Amino acid sequence: MKKYRTLSSSTLSKLDNRKADGEDMRYLKQPRGPGTSWVFRFVAPAHLIGLPNPWDGKPIRGTIARGLKTRHLPTARKRRDQLLGDILRLQEALSDDAAFSLATAEEWREAVLSARETATSRANVGIELVLHGKLEEAEARGVPQVELERFSRFASGKGFPLSRAHEQYLHARRPGNPHGYSPLKLATTLNLATAVKHLRAFLRDDGETACLEDVTLSDTIKFRDEYLPGLKGHRSPDGLSAKTIAKNITLLRPIWVWAMETRRLGPDATNPWDFPEGLSRSGIKTERQRDPYAPEETAKLLKATSRGTRQGDVIRLAIATGCRVDELASLNVAQVKPDGTGFRVEDAKTKNGNRFIPVVGEARTLLQARLAAHGSTGRLFPEWPIRPATEKAAAVSQWFTRFRRDTLGEETDGRLTMHSTRHTWFTVALRAGLQERGVVPRASLLLLN
């Protein structure tokens, strides 16, 4: 792609290496006569006109004039060279990629809005005409039209960039926000970042200038039905599943809802994620069925592990309490009763998941042994590392998948998972005639040995 013509670096080198003699007077003037302060005067290249200058942010006009605040010629030459360096760096940054980036669009937007506030008529202010001319020049050089349209929409104050909307939406839904919005959990925040990344890739938004207004219903249908199903990776060799696609759509839709509610979009805006009613998508809504472990399968898992190890203890507590295995592996000592009679699950997957779990019998003995051995570390299972990005013990899930396959065979894939330990607990609880989920059935304690 064609770059803007820049000042010759050899010119600056010559200026730096010249001796302080009468020949080195380029761009230096004394408009008030000999013996007065020196002024830097430089005829700006056409492609810099209208851009904010690097000193005070005001638009560059035909001639750049800066008072050097000195009568001393060697000092004036030194300050002139510094100004020339600033101009050179500005020109070098203005490749077509940088010239139509979000940062540059923000500078234009501020200049345009400021000019409108001081304009005396409703006609286009001068800087808008300059912007229009630069866009026409870029189009003639072959810059993609869709890129220029996105840049123009935001630079002229008529668009709300997706990247900026994502940032502000997260801030609006932060914990303790004053708007009353339910705060987003860390896992949801990370999943939303992935969904936005997919959407920006679909829109080819390399400059981060794609606006919410640019996304149409036609785009969202193509994104849902063609782009996402075609994303293949080591975890999804056949493309994203219908359930994962639905999750991406569910995460993206509220950004537009929030932007419309807060008037960041115009009064005539519609949400492109509100799809017209079509065929039933039962495959998306149906949860994958997980079976509880049969008694013989549970026995094999327990025999393949030992009490006192991180693997054996976490499985036994999961079966005895019905908790998610990663919840147990992430427990802090502060969440556990000092006498081992139970523990509190905090920051669970759902609001109702925050609960106190009492334990009895062998489960209590196991918990007491854990506290005695690892209490000083501050965690019940310090052997399972916490991933900083999610604040969860992700390694336990990865280990359990390999362990289950080695112990029960790969044919259990899709039928049995780590989460199946919860189904095992609920099955035993129902058979024992218990309805309260916070009570440990004594029948399940037989599985601990």
Beta 39-43 vs 355-358: how paired, if at all? unpaired
What topology is assigned to 159-287 in CATH?
A: DNA polymerase; domain 1 (1.10.150)
More confident call, 262 vs 430: 262
- Residue tagged 């803007």 (tokens): 4
Global pTM reads 0.55
Query: Mean pLDDT, to the nearest integer, of 208-223?
Result: 91
- CB of 166 closer than 8 Å to CB of 196: yes
CA distance 321 to 363: 8
pLDDT in tens, 341-354: 999 988 766 666 67
pLDDT in tens, 31-83: 888 889 999 988 886 667 777 777 877 778 778 888 999 999 989 988 888 88
pLDDT at 283 over 80: no
What's the pLDDT score for residue 446? 41
Confidence class of residue 333 from pLDDT cuts 50, 70 and 90? very high
Superfamily of domain 295-448: Intergrase catalytic core (1.10.443.10)
Query: Mean pLDDT, to the nearest integer, of 313-320?
Result: 89
What's the pLDDT score for residue 353? 65
* CA-to-CA separations, 158 to 143, 146, 161, 286, in angstroms, rounded: 21, 15, 10, 41
Q: Which two tokens stand for residue 28?
A: 């230096």
Q: Which two tokens stand for residue 431?
A: 């058979």
Could you report how far apart the first and last alpha carbons of the chain are, in Å? Answer: 70
pLDDT at 174 over 90: yes
Least confident of 34-38, 404-408, 424-428: 424-428
More confident call, 240 vs 46: 240
CA distance 339 to 293: 30
- Residue tagged 């975890």 (tokens): 235
Confidence class of residue 194 from pLDDT cuts 50, 70 and 90? very high
More confident call, 381 vs 53: 381
Q: Alpha carbon 106 to chain centroid distance?
A: 20
Which uninterrupted H or E stretch holds 232? Answer: none
- CB of 314 closer than 8 Å to CB of 328: yes
Q: What are phi and psi of 276, to 5 degrees?
A: -65, 150
* Whole-number percent of the chain with pLDDT over 90: 31
What's the pLDDT score for residue 153? 76
Nearest Cα neighbor of 109 from 76, 158, 60 is: 158
What's the pLDDT score for residue 350? 65
Q: Where do the domains of the chain lie?
A: 9-94, 159-287, 295-448
- Compute the C-alpha angle 211/214/216, nearest 5°: 135
pLDDT at 177 over 60: yes
pLDDT at 377 over 60: yes
Please, which residues bridge with residue 65 across strands?
Answer: 41
What's the pLDDT score for residue 434? 62
